[in-house]
């Protein structure tokens, strides 16, 4: 049986002050946008006494993550003047905990295997011009949700590769059962929000290539690390609707949120990892001092 409190109490001390984190994926060099996010999280932790700032390496995307980026981003963060608690949590070390949560959701009847390839999904969406869209693009059309149970069992028995998707309608109904009030969460900038996870449709909770996903991993790890204030870019604002539903289904504590604005270049475009000129490493090597980089990242020294 999934017991999130047991999982959390192993690593989370009793909350005192704010606990924030920076959770980069080591898929490229740290750029000014990340520096902004990391400095923002660290400042939020230290703004009130007793705060703690954590670093978490989100390395579940094994195809894109590289050890040199992991080492490089820690070096760049330290050069920027940041300190964090050790040991650093590495997401890929916790897949067993993610599996326990998936078992719990499966036992509630809220997961189903999805055998579709990207191509299958695109073809299905192209065939229905009014396919609904969510924040990440067109929603999964539900092909495998409607599979005949015997066919599903045969394909599983044959070892056909599959992802695990959350049956969103059932999951929402489950969270609503018992007449409890609608799910809400709070963002420091945008105020109180009613959770609308169905914006995303039947999200993937375990990928074909790795038995977890961003939504599942981030929600579980924030709870396990005792994070009380999740800070991250505005681009992930809507994802919080899904995380709030997972917290309800897995009986996890609900942190506060603060989604910050994104740093843009002079043309108003979001900074990306491919912008090497904006890499902290490039600026460092060019002799720009840390205080200037902190100012360029939009978090000048007080």
Q: Is 87 left (phi over 0), alpha (psi -120 to 50) or beta?
A: beta
Least CB distance to ligand GLU at residue 83 (A): 19
Distance of CA 154 to the CA centre of its chain: 33
Nearest alpha-carbon partner for 33 in 220, 236, 241, 239: 236
Nearest alpha-carbon partner for 239 in 199, 210, 184, 183: 199
Q: Does 262 bind ligand GLU (CB under 6 A)?
A: no
Q: Does 23 bind ligand GLU (CB under 6 A)?
A: yes
Least CB distance to ligand GLU at residue 37 (A): 8
Least CB distance to ligand GLU at residue 115 (A): 27
Among positions 19, 20, 36, 58, the unique one binding ligand GLU when judged by CB under 6 A: 58
Q: Does 30 bind ligand GLU (CB under 6 A)?
A: no
Q: Does 101 bind ligand GLU (CB under 6 A)?
A: no
- Give how many residues touch ligand GLU by CB under 6 A: 7
Instruction: Give the range of 18-26, 92-100, 160-168, 192-200 binding ligand GLU by CB under 6 A.
Output: 18-26
CB 169 within 8 A of CB 198: yes
Query: Cβ closer to ligand GLU: 65 or 139?
Result: 65
Query: Cβ closer to ligand GLU: 2 or 22?
Result: 22
Tokens of 261: 């604005």
Query: Cβ closer to ligand GLU: 25 or 198?
Result: 25
Query: Cβ closer to ligand GLU: 133 or 270?
Result: 270
Query: Cβ closer to ligand GLU: 57 or 144?
Result: 57
Residues numbered 183-222 forming contacts with ligand GLU, rule: CB under 6 A: 218
Q: Are strands 204-206 and 191-194 parallel, antiparallel or unpaired?
A: unpaired
**Cα–Cα distance for residue pair 82/35, rounded to 1 Å:** 10
Cis before 12 (ω within 30): no
Least CB distance to ligand GLU at residue 35 (A): 13
Q: Is 114 left (phi over 0), alpha (psi -120 to 50) or beta?
A: beta
Residues numbered 215-244 forming contacts with ligand GLU, rule: CB under 6 A: 218, 232, 236
Among positions 24, 28, 113, 255, the unique one binding ligand GLU when judged by CB under 6 A: 24
Least CB distance to ligand GLU at residue 166 (A): 18
Which whole-number Å values give the CA distances from 22 to 14, 63, 270, in the listed order?
Answer: 20, 21, 19
Alpha helices in 80-116 (DSSP H): 95-107
Least CB distance to ligand GLU at residue 233 (A): 7
CA dihedral 218, 223, 224, 228 (to 10 degrees): 110
Bridge partners (DSSP) of residue 55 are 22
Please report, as ranges, the residues that interact with ligand GLU according to CB under 6 A: 23-25, 58, 218, 232, 236
């Amino acid at each position: 049986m999934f017991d999130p409190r047991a999982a959390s109490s192993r690593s989370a001390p009793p909350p005192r002050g704010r606990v924030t984190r920076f959770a980069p994926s080591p898929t490229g060099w740290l750029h000014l946008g990340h520096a902004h996010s990391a400095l923002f999280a660290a400042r939020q932790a230290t703004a009130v006494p007793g705060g703690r700032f954590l670093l978490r390496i989100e390395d579940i995307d094994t195809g894109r993550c590289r050890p040199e980026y992991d080492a490089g981003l820690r070096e760049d963060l330290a050069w920027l003047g940041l300190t964090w608690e050790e040991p650093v949590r590495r997401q890929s070390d916790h897949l067993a905990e993610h599996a326990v949560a998936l078992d719990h959701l499966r036992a509630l009847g809220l997961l189903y295997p999805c055998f579709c390839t990207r191509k299958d999904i695109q073809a299905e969406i192209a065939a229905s011009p009014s396919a609904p869209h969510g924040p990440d693009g067109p929603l999964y059309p539900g092909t495998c949700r409607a599979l005949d149970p015997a066919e599903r069992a045969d394909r599983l028995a044959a070892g056909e590769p599959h992802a695990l998707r959350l049956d969103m309608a059932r999951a929402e109904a489950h969270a609503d059962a018992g007449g409890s009030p609608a799910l809400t969460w709070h963002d420091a900038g945008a105020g109180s929000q009613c959770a609308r996870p169905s914006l995303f449709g039947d999200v993937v909770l375990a990928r074909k290539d790795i038995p977890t996903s961003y939504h599942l991993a981030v929600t579980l790890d924030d709870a396990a690390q005792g994070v009380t204030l999740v800070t991250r870019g505005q681009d992930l604002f809507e994802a919080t609707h899904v995380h709030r539903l997972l917290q309800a289904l897995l009986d996890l504590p609900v942190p506060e949120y603060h989604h910050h604005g994104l740093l843009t270049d002079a043309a108003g475009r979001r900074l990306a990892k491919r912008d090497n000129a904006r890499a902290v490493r490039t600026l460092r090597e060019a002799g720009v001092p840390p205080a200037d980089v902190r100012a360029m990242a939009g978090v000048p020294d007080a």
